[in-house]
Amino acid sequence: MFRIGNVEIKGKVVLAPMAGITSLAYRDFMKPFGVSLSVTEMVSDCGLIYENAKTLDYIKTSESERPVAIQLFGNDAETIIKAMKICEEKNKNFDIFDINLGCPVPKVTKAGSGSALLKNPAKLKDMFIKICKATTKPVTAKIRLGWSNDSINFMENIKALEEAGVAAIGIHARTTAQLYSGKPQYELLKDLREKMSVPLMVSGDIYTLDDAINALEITKADAVMVARGGVGNPQLVRQIDQYFKNGERLPNSSLEENLKYLVEFTDMLIAEKGEYRAMSILRGIAPKFLDGFPNMKKYKNLLAQSLSTRASLDRILSEIR
Ligand SMILES: Cc1cc2nc3c(=O)[nH]c(=O)nc-3n(C[C@H](O)[C@H](O)[C@H](O)COP(=O)(O)O)c2cc1C
């Protein structure tokens, strides 16, 4: 257990934010496997200010997923604070503000948002002093190691954020230049938590229980963030959560269990987004529920290419079974 400000986090699994994936339905689906903190996908501060309907949907959260953080991105304290006020007006049931300082996508960094903000720790500190003062909720930040291997500056940024008053920090153990590939560099984060005054959550290639044990052992972090490794493998969350609660090593889920999870998730996603949108999202996600099982290539392709309705999912699943 650890605390982010006044919010109790009762386990070691944080569901990492993933744009296009961690919608409300995904978070609600993953929660019962043992998620201790959920985070929304990144939400544009200006999108909220201009009351873009789709952006307003991103800040919806559910009671059952709490504690939950809303993640905002922007390049300026004033607009981020305006967006925070809108979140507080429109949603009375969330717990934490998380600010995205890790997004490497050029569209975002060219605007001075996401990981571009890590280039200047002194400026970052001024920005976060204002942001932390503007709310009674805890503010957290999600950062990267630095821009590239020639400019690793996470320690300066962590100090700046701590001094500004953040309540916890998440770090993706890659540089901006690495984007989402290449190995996370956990060795650079050795004993990092012992050098910090606030809780630490670590992210990067958490695909197995042993990946989580390893990342926590090296960094001494309070929690791991499960991102791509949990997509199509919700049992990973249960394995990590249970291991750290009672030392139990649970088996991987069976193919039959995973198909059941896929159907459960599909129905939740349809309820949230409607069948058409849900199926378009599922074409990217559904094949992952078959990962690691033998002779699934044909069905993975079918799910990726032919999913168009709920009935088409049933047809493909009956072929697999
Ligand atoms: C498709 C995708 C979307 C992501 N969107 C966000 C986001 O909105 N906010 C954020 O802080 N990180 C985002 N991330 C980064 C993840 O939270 C995580 O830090 C990263 O994927 C590393 O973990 P992994 O190697 O276990 O996937 C995203 C990652 C992926 C793959």
Query: Best mutation site among 172, 181, 231 for ligand 1, i.e. most ligand atoms within 8 A of its Cβ?
Result: 172
| Helix axes 297-306 and 310-320, enclosed angle (nearest 10) | 170
Digit-coded pLDDT (tens) for 82-135: 999 999 999 999 999 999 999 999 999 999 999 999 999 999 999 999 999 999
pTM for this prediction: 0.98
Testing ligand 1's pocket by substitution, the residue of 228, 231, 237, 288 carrying the most ligand atoms inside 8 A of its CB is 228
- Ligand 1 pocket member 211 (CB < 6 A): no
Picking from 242, 211, 238, 243, the residue whose alpha carbon sits closest to that of residue 224 is: 211
Rounded (10°) angle between helices 275-285 and 310-320 = 30
Residues 6+ apart with CB under 8 A from 178: 104
Q: Is the CB of 170 under 6 A from ligand 1?
A: no
Q: For residues 59 and 91, is the Cβ–Cβ distance under 8 A?
A: yes
- Report CA-CA distances (Å) from 118 to 30, 104, 197, 260: 30, 11, 19, 42
pLDDT band at 54 (very low <50, low <70, confident <90, very high): confident
Mutate which of 13, 14, 18 for ligand 1 pocket (most atoms within 8 A of beta carbon):
18
170 Cα: distance to centroid of ligand 1 (angstroms): 11
Ligand 1 atom 14 nearest Cα: 18
How far lies 84's CA from each of 18, 63, 111, 137, 207, in Å? 20, 19, 19, 10, 33
**What spacing in Å lies between the alpha carbon of 320 and ligand 1's midpoint?**
30
Q: Which fold has domain 2-246?
A: TIM Barrel (3.20.20)
Burial class (CB in 10 A: 0-12, 13-18, 19+), 194: exposed
Residue 77, pLDDT > 90, answer yes
Residue 19 CA, ligand 1 centroid: distance in Å: 7
Residue reference for tokens 């890790």: 102
Percent of the chain with pLDDT over 90: 98
Instruction: Please give the pLDDT value at position 17.
Output: 98
Burial level of 251, CB count in 10 A (0-12/13-18/19+)? exposed
Between 255-273 and 275-285, two packed helices, what is the crossing angle to 10 degrees?
Answer: 140
Cβ of residue 42 lying under 6 Å from some atom of ligand 1: yes
Average pLDDT score over the chain? 98
Number of residues in the chain: 321
| Residue ranges per structural domain of the chain | 2-246, 255-320
* Whole-number Cα distances in Å, 7 to 4, 30, 117, 168, 258: 5, 20, 26, 11, 32
- For ligand 1, atom 1, name the residue with the nearest CA: 18
In angstroms, the CA 169 to CA 275 distance is: 37
H/E stretch holding 15 reads strand 13-15
Q: Which ligand 1 atom sits nearest the alpha carbon of residue 184?
A: 25
pLDDT (0 to 100) of residue 53: 87
DSSP 36: S
pLDDT tens digit string along 156-215? Answer: 999 999 999 999 999 999 999 999 999 999 999 999 999 999 999 999 999 999 999 999
What letter would DSSP give residue 292? T
**318 contacts: CB under 8 Å, gap ≥ 6:** none
